[in-house]
Structure 1
Amino acid sequence: MNVYMVERSLKGIGLNELAGAQRAAIDKAAEMTSQGTTIGYIRSTFAPEDGRCMCLFEAEKPGDVEKLNDDAGIPYDRVVPALDLTPAA
């Protein structure tokens, strides 16, 4: 599996809307996985001051991540390969 970062511009979004978008991404990932496209939501980081949001997903290819976001109706600027540098415990 590869890691992809979804870059979003969400200036002015409320916390309830942001939580709804996160839930939609998680739910769509579970649905796609159950239908044979393995994809997983990792986490998001949101900067409310300027509305930048970065979301990490695990997937085989970037098109799977784009499809998830398109089907879930979550706006994004681009999907790029990324490295998840979370330190091991």
Structure 2
Amino acid sequence: MQVFMVERSLKGIPMDQLAAAQQRAIRTAGEMTAAGTPIRYIRTTFVPESGQCMCLFESSDAECVKALNRKAEIPFNSVTPALDLAP
């Protein structure tokens, strides 16, 4: 499993819609994992002023992460390998 960063532009999104998108990502990851495609939502960082949003997922490949975001109907700009350097 590898970590991937999903970059999004969500300027102007209300906080309730951002929270709903996060819940869809978590739920969809659970559904995909239960169906045999292991993927895990890690966290989201959001900058309200610019609308810049970065989400981390753990998965076997970027295509799985893209599929999750499409299935959850969450827009994204890119999916790239990343390092999660949390303590």
Same fold (TM over 0.5): yes
* Residues in 2 aligned to 1:62 and 1:40: alpha-carbon distance in whole angstroms: 12
1:84 counterpart = 2:81: no
SS of the residue aligned with 1:69? helix
* Residues in 2 aligned to 1:36 and 1:68: alpha-carbon distance in whole angstroms: 13
For 1:70, the equivalent position in structure 2 comes to 70
The RMSD of aligned alpha carbons is 0.2
Please give the TM-score of this superposition, normalised by the length of structure 1. 0.97
For 1:36, the equivalent position in structure 2 comes to 36
Identity %: 59
**What is the identity, as a one-letter code, of the residue corresponding to 1:50?**
S
For 2:52, the equivalent position in structure 1 comes to 52
Please give the TM-score of this superposition, normalised by the length of structure 2. 1.00
- Give unmatched runs, 5+ long, in structure 1: none
Q: Which runs of 4+ in 1 moved over 4 A?
A: none
Q: How far 1:66 sits from its partner (Å)? A: 0.1
* Residues in 2 aligned to 1:35 and 1:21: alpha-carbon distance in whole angstroms: 21
